[in-house]
Structure 1
Amino acid sequence: MTDGSILIVCAANVCRSPLAELALRRGLRDGSALSVHSAGVRAHAGDPICTEVAARHADASWQEQTAAHRAREVTPEMLADATLVLAASRDIRGELVRMAPEFRDRMFTLREAAHLGEGFRSGGTDTVRDYVAFLDRARTRATPLGASADRGGRLRRLFGGRSGGDPASIADRHGSRGHTETIREVEQAVDALVGQLGGQRRHSS
């Protein structure tokens, strides 16, 4: 279906990024040669996945993958190896750019990529690199996120987000009453990405 390597990064690598990693793999299914991994900018190596993420699906494949997950800290080498880097929020993307500025053109937030990738179609053999080029061109043409109230409004309408906060980011609400909202926002963004990359969207079934 597609090939390349995607790295998804959040803070602790126990909730947002592993959820996006496993949901993306699930959406692309067995026909994909795409490699998907996750890491955290402040991860404690070896921490297990969030229990709410583990409980999202009851099938054996999901349970095996969530049980096997262990948090790891992102490194410059991981960023160099990834074809596409997706950050949970804009501040995390900023940390990654400072860590490896030479790869900034391949770094986007999850929501930013889902928004900029609307209309992407690839018939080539290098789907993820084509996708990154498409996203980068769209970002160059677009008004910077946050600079236009209408642009922020489009993102909120697309994902059903709240009126406050950064529409390009998914906040870390782990352990708070907003945790379920964070999980929902990650799943919505990944669902859009899956459709753009040619997989099976969760809401299409």
Structure 2
Amino acid sequence: MSGENILVVCAANVCRSPLAELELRRGLGADSLISVSSAGVRANPGDDICELVAAVHDDDEWREQAAEHKAREVTVEIIEQSSIVLAASRDIRGELVRLAPRSRDWMFTIKEAAHLGSGFSSEAPDRVAEYVAHLDRARSRAVPLVPSDDIRSRVRRLFGARTVSDPLSIADQHGSRGHQETIDEVGESIATIVTQLARL
């Protein structure tokens, strides 16, 4: 696991991605050789973590790490130095692929990784690389969870402008009524990923 890096990316790097980063660190443990970081595609560098994320856990370690977090903008260099990139949504992943197309094979949404990682087990020292290979193989065999454009257009005709939720994305509901729902979705998906990566 030495030298392996997990990068989590959302829009502003104040809610979904820092929450995923801190939960991954917590789940993998302080002695893990896997480093975890986060960034945003439209981050205002230096912005603080959101208050709801800072309050997810009340222990000193969580509060300290949440207080230290400062938003940063994602760059090609950050992406290319990562072993895996976990995007909050398919839209964010699309932006990252356009920014760093050579890294597309190790980019997944958080929910996609949690879904495709089922059954992963490895004792290899480069566990994240093995995980990426497992996810990539599973992605090539998986039945799409996302409705096709044709199905989406039929749903829109039936239900008007109501959007069809994307099962591979975690919506950005920061500051809205659904904010807690977003936090819960991130927490559940990251807990699944931690279980997959920690399994021997």
Q: TM-score over 0.5 for the alignment?
A: yes
Q: Which residue number in structure 2 is paired with residue 72 of structure 1?
A: 72
Correspondence list, 1:1-205, <5 A? 2-3=1-2, 4-147=4-147, 164-198=164-198
SS of the equivalent of 2:86 reads strand
Greater gyration radius: 2
Identity %: 62
Moved over 3 A (4+): none
Gaps of 5+ in 2: 149-162
Instruction: Return the letter of the residue paired with 1:64.
Output: E
Structure 1 runs not aligned, ≥5 long? 149-162, 200-205
Distance 2:181 2:5 in 1: 27
Distance 1:172 1:184 in 2: 12
Aligned residues: 184
Residues of 2 paired with 1:184 and 1:147: CA distance? 23
Q: CA deviation at 1:145?
A: 3.2
Comparing 164-173 and 112-121, the one that deviates more: 164-173
Using the alignment, how far apart are the partners of 2:77 and 2:119 within structure 1? Answer: 31
| 1:104-131, Cα deviation, whole Å (9 max, x unpaired) | 0000000000000000000111100000
Q: How much has 1:164 moved relative to structure 2?
A: 4.7
Q: What TM-score, normalized by structure 2, do the two folds share?
A: 0.89
AA at the equivalent of 1:19: L
Q: Distance in 2 between matches of 1:25 and 1:164?
A: 32
> Could you say which residue in structure 1 is the equivalent of 2:160?
none
Aligned-pair RMSD on alpha carbons? 1.4
Distance apart, 1:49 and its partner CA: 0.2
